[in-house]
Structure 1
């Protein structure tokens, strides 16, 4: 697997969507105007579907409990999302540095999936309630959705959809989009993890379960949590400081992929 390309794809696939979803969640209308509410929620739902469609398998029957974020459908969808790039690696022996790279992708995808799927499921639940004629406090929901996506954008630090290096890299370099969990062993054996949104964390919280082994079963990720708002401290010199995180730059391949230690 070409990990640098995976990092770039994570950014390219999600950066623009985050900006569009944050804008779509913004409510500035009259909550008493049902036509206006329906039109706004319809557009927001369409934007949310652009992310959900890759991971969500719609059930044959939908009821009140279908879109519960604590339910089995959310868990299965979260697992598909978090392990999108690493699911097939679960049975493959990996070197320590490869494990670090895999974990970096899973941590970042886990943060993105936790927020966007939660917003998406709540949007679906609000739409279901609207279709059934039930009332919903959409103004407060809209504020929470917008705040959640804004917090996610602050966590990842993406400011544009098309993120790439400003110059053509040399033959022995790659355009690298830094991910904070990837700073090679700068924190020793433990990489910092973002705290849960509902309180401070110390990195000891239960992690989501691993994806299933070989086969087509979806697996249940369980125990999801969204990203926190803090960023890690300083990494290796070529990384710069926390202000450089997610800023693409040309770096030597040996800096990204450390050589195996001599036994």
Structure 2
């Protein structure tokens, strides 16, 4: 099985490629600009910002909220967004006991996630599934990235910084993988800070909810024993694991490690440092009921439904979006130079001053009351996704047009014709041709290009009054305009330079120039839509990237490999997931 990624910079091979994006974009070495083209014409009267440092990262995070694929490719989240889960949404909790869950605990949006986690446990009363319905809009805080992957490679960074108000503080208890301790600490932070938050949304293979108090906001709909047929007798080991209220306990106290030697690797090293990689769960499921061997595949299948469409039943309140890609957090800027987005870290690099300011801002946002939770404002996530949908596939087609390898390779003239048509299509809605001569090569670009560039850059934001925007929204507006500014300038230069086409030598020169410009732009944007399986998977397959804890290498870091490929149901149930 082959797989395709149009951008070598992305997570195709997780290679580090120089991308000095922490400088104003008009001086970005990877995005060459023509200072004589007259493209930069904006004045303060328009409140247009086109040189926001880190705009590509902010835009990427904004467009990727609550989507599985981009957050799997960029696991080290930097962004926190208040959100509400719609009233009457169904949520699920499975556990291998008859008892109802204590508070706090986890909920899943999909029963496949809850079932797969608990179905193969060899102890308890068998898996019991509780189904809840939200009795009102539930107020939550969403952490982006792979924020539920138990690793010290960056996925949990923002949560630890929020809790401790600083970085470089090793998590207590069993370290990075002690999620019960983290759940307790997050809920205590929200309660002690008097924040109007019921829980937290995170993602690993699918999205989950960390719920602080089961006595509020939820109605129990059903509580079923869903133990699979032909399940062998269960042992009476304690649950949860690790045991509740004992985050500093030891595995030896449970007498489990002798039966499951794989668990011993979860202990700290002699240095006392918490393990940085997530634990690999013991493969006890292969010895349990034959009816559970596909549960992991079905969990993965459901997660892939969220690859490009956001998790449903969740309303993002982007007026309160806080991102640590905001250039005001200056301690993080130099650490991103020459690093792809997949390698960015918060916990390891943020200064105490920046961390404190970020948490203060987050707490202020979460105390806005009805101005936050009841505000029906601008859907910035949809605006960013609209931009990505309009531009992404056409930019990818431009990139593919310059592929001279194989029997479908095009000569320079054919390449230029295809790319010129794509550039014109992208600019057509903003190009007023009333005063143009019949042919482009007879026109003066100085007359029609500057206003075209302005309309192209400001199309989704021109009517939005700055006076109505929060400080966080002003940052999002600037990020969108900066990204569009660079995109519009690129296709504008292509369209103008196409006037010079003619001789074979000139066409080859222009084609090479365009090829490099498109490649640089795609590397700078690093959009997940350019990462996909190169052929349509069958109905018994899902196109998936590595995603802990269901499928892929154990490491949660950027070098874990496993690009997108079709994962086969039959192979899964007979061989298990490929690690």
TM-score (norm 2): 0.24
Greater helix share, 1 or 2? 1
Greater strand share, 1 or 2? 2
TM-score (norm 1): 0.49
